[in-house]
Amino acid sequence: MKTAIDSSVLWCLLKQQAGFEEWQQILWQAGQDGALLVCPVVFAEIAPAFAVDIKHASPFTKNRGTLRPH
């Protein structure tokens, strides 16, 4: 099964807001069951928070793990 991730969930995780541990667990389990997806709109919503050249940052595929929050 594929699971789409909303920008609010990503923000919660990135900022370690209240409840982020629960989202970590939910997404970890979903990742065990299938692909985790970030649509282009969600990527565009969170991309400004990262120091990266967007034209070289295929949404979490080619540069997985290299995006760094400001």
How much is the pTM? 0.67
Q: How far is CA 32 from CA 25, 51, 58, in A?
A: 11, 29, 22
- Asked if 13 and 20 count as a contact pair (C-beta separation under 8 A), the reply is yes
Predicted confidence at residue 23, as pLDDT, reads: 94
**Terminal CA-to-CA distance of the chain, rounded, Å?**
33
DSSP-derived letter for residue 48 is: G
pLDDT in tens, 20-70: 999 999 999 999 998 889 888 998 898 888 766 555 555 554 444 434 444
| In the chain, domain spans | 3-56
